[in-house]
Structure 1
Amino acid sequence: MNALQFDNLQIENQPVNIPLPDGISLTIKREDRNHPFVSGNKLRKLKYNIAQAQKEGKNTLLTFGGAYSNHIAATAAAGHLVGLKTIGVIRGEELNGKICVNFTLNFAKKCGMDFYFVTREAYRQKHTPEFQESLYKRYGSDIYIAPEGGTNTLAVKGCEEILTPEDAAFDVICTAVGTGGTISGLINSSANHQKVIGFPALKGEFLSEVIKQYTTKTNWELIHDYHFGGYAKVSDELVRFLNDFNKITRIPLDPIYVGKMIFAIFALAKERYFAPNTKILAIHTGGLQGIEGFNNSQIKKQKIILNYDDKI
């Protein structure tokens, strides 16, 4: 477990040196720097799941994701570091046999991950007892199954450790939201005077019900206006914003989750959503491994790319 630096993480809170109106200040918690390969909220989500797998004597981590999944890459790297085999159930069959052309899957393969490519129709059944039983039949009883995105009770427990006592100085905690585990942990560990705001990367209102499964606190809100059309969708305006933000701050942001959150914070500040002198702490949950794949996709579409000198 020491290989993943799970204990005594020292994460920098980096002030953003871009003025916001009404005395509002923005600080970014650099969770993207908590590990070189299993970074951001993925390390937090995997911490107790790996411990549980080891406690149960399992020798293989099995999880789910798309071809560009941060969770797939992080699980592969974590398994390699702690000596567990890893299997990724991948949505879509189009990259079967073509792993080398995909940065995320190529990285995961180099970490020792094996892949099981399934149709999108089959992938939608991944949570059912029938599908999971088929996985045990295929791979045996030594697999430990972690859900897509890594979110479960153990993942939420890990994400509760993101905030430190010193972070009580902030009024608002902001995070991007994918499967709901990170924000649930942040809500549970937030101080009573703090508000936690989540910015979903997906369309739909279902996330509120997911979060309520993991917390009883009510000091939180989801703002659904900044997904840019849906998961993995971007605009030229967003990419230009991220490039400009990086030039000024030297903080690289992924365009799928964290980048949209930071864009949203600036937009909301201009709209006077936040009270004057609000101190905002935004959580950088990582996701930088996906930038190469994103840029390759943008080039094919003849769109502008992210120009980061220090993206990893």
Structure 2
Amino acid sequence: MTLTYWDRTTYRRNHEADVVQRLHDEFGEFYLLPEGGSNALALRGCAEIPEEITEHFTTICCPVGTGGTLAGIAAGLQVGQEAIGFSALKGGGFLNEEVRELQEQAYGRERGRRRIELDYHFGGYAKQKPELTAFIDDFADKHGLRLDRIYGAKMMYGVFDLVERGRFAKDSVIVAVITGIAGDV
């Protein structure tokens, strides 16, 4: 494996033909992983997550950065199930279109019932507020698992908040997909 530094401008252009050609010139044949790993192959892998869950559930929740995990999970749902993504990005409304486009690329159409919660970003990507830090600490104390502050903690905070607000039907069975942890408690 070879790691190469890119300035921000080049990184933002990583999908443009001239940047890809420079990579081919320098490295020969390669596989360019998109940001967040979101592509058709990733969606197909994430679509297998719901079928791996052996308990009946009505709702599956996951953090959202680029939308690939949510797009894949939603594609793997059964009738009557819903996927809820929790955006880690401030102003993440554009992610609805990203998820739609990812599913179109992978499956030729949208699949699965899904939505994105936009109010649990705590100021934006990699940002946090004292109430999120307190939630992370409390969750670690109660469950022995320290959630990462960028994705998992924001999602779990959102899930707990929506439950507390009565936003789920009483007979809901909720699964939370934790895509990373912060380490030992």
Q: TM over 0.5, yes or no?
A: yes
Alignment of 1:186-197 (within 5 A): 186-197=73-84
Give the structure 1 partner of residue 31 of structure 2: 144
Q: CA distance change for structure 1 residues 197 and 167 in 2, over 3 Å: closer, same or farther?
A: farther
Distance 1:255 1:165 in 2: 26
Distance 2:25 2:177 in 1: 39
Give the structure 2 partner of residue 180 of structure 1: 67
Distance 1:191 1:199 in 2: 20
Report the structure number with the largest CA radius of gyration. Answer: 1
Distance 1:176 1:156 in 2: 15
SS of 1:144's equivalent in the other structure is coil
> One-letter code of the match for 2:9?
E
Give TM-score scaled by structure 2 length: 0.89
Distance 1:188 1:259 in 2: 24
How many pairs does the alignment contain? 178
> One-letter code of the match for 2:118?
H
Q: 1:225 aligns with which of 76, 99, 119?
A: 119
Q: How far did residue 284 of structure 1 move? A: 1.1
Moved over 6 A (4+): none
Q: CA distance change for structure 1 residues 179 and 263 in 2, over 3 Å: closer, same or farther?
A: same
SS of 1:233's equivalent in the other structure is coil
Deviation readout 1:205-236 (Å, 9 max, x if unpaired): 22111111215125111110001111100111
2:178 corresponds to 1:284: yes
Alignment of 1:163-174 (within 5 A): 163-164=50-51, 166-167=53-54, 169-174=56-61
SS of 1:145's equivalent in the other structure is coil
Q: How far did residue 165 of structure 1 move? A: 6.0
Listed as ranges, the gaps of 5+ residues in structure 1 are 1-85, 87-113, 292-307
> One-letter code of the match for 2:176?
A
Q: 1:125 aligns with which of 1, 5, 13?
A: 13
SS of 1:221's equivalent in the other structure is strand
> One-letter code of the match for 1:191?
Q
Identity of aligned residues (%): 38
Deviation readout 1:116-149 (Å, 9 max, x if unpaired): 11221221111111111111111122x1211111
Give TM-score scaled by structure 1 length: 0.54
